[in-house]
Amino acid sequence: GAVVSQHPSRVICKSGTSVKIECRSLDFQATTMFWYRQFPKKSLMLMATSNEGSKATYEQGVEKDKFLINHASLTLSTLTVTSAHPEDSSFYICSCNTGGGYEQYFGPGTRLTVT
Amino acid sequence: EDQVTQSPEALRLQEGESSSLNCSYTVSGLRGLFWYRQDPGKGPEFLFTLYSAGEEKEKERLKATLTKKESFLHITAPKPEDSATYLCAVQDNYGQNFVFGPGTRLSVLP
């Protein structure tokens, strides 16, 4: 299967600061990457779809100015949580589609804690 | 609007006790139904894709089946290492997005 990495795996930041999370496809090129967030014992909620070289498409209710997504290359997408607040604390997961099929391959996730 | 439900919410099995997990869906034109396994604190791990009613896929102790309204994940003679949350998701013919179900938390006791 395809390998997707995320960095960092865990981050703790203070309220009001910004945090950047990286998502990389390691052994394939990903035209499209997806960003999800997951609360404890809940399922994945899609935040946005990131296409290389173009603006991300955000789901209803997700603030694009707060969750900045940059898909600068076919192997890297970044999610920046700006002016983070405690309610932004969550598990953020990215996924990629290889283009060879419809399935998505997920990264290991990033645990964000805002104090 | 595409919707996915899963049952049961949680399932406890003894090692070797076979069972099935259910994923019911409504979608306007199914492109694919996907099963994932998620361990605590990890990202989902891809298991299967099913495209059309009647299709079946197998991998070790797992077998996934699909009808026009639901999918089953059958677990035969499970082992403790099969303990995880199992998620299903659907994708319709009109976009790239997945809609995930809430998952079934499976615990297999030795």
B41 to chain A, any CB pair closer than 8 A? The answer is yes
The DSSP call for residue B80 is: G
Q: Measured between alpha carbons, how far is A113 from A86 in angstroms, rounded to an integer?
A: 7
- CB of A90 within 8 A of CB of A47? no
B27 to chain A, any CB pair closer than 8 A? The answer is no
Digitized pLDDT (tens) for each residue of chain B, 110 residues in all: 889 999 999 999 999 999 999 999 999 899 999 999 999 999 999 999 999 999 999 999 999 999 999 999 999 999 999 999 999 999 998 887 899 999 999 999 99
Q: Measured between alpha carbons, how far is B84 from B103 in angstroms, rounded to an integer?
A: 10
- pLDDT digit string, tens, across residues A64-105: 999 999 988 889 999 999 999 999 999 999 999 877 778 899
- CB of B101 within 8 A of CB of B88? yes
Which residue from A32, A43, A91 is facing B103, i.e. has the nearest CB? Answer: A43
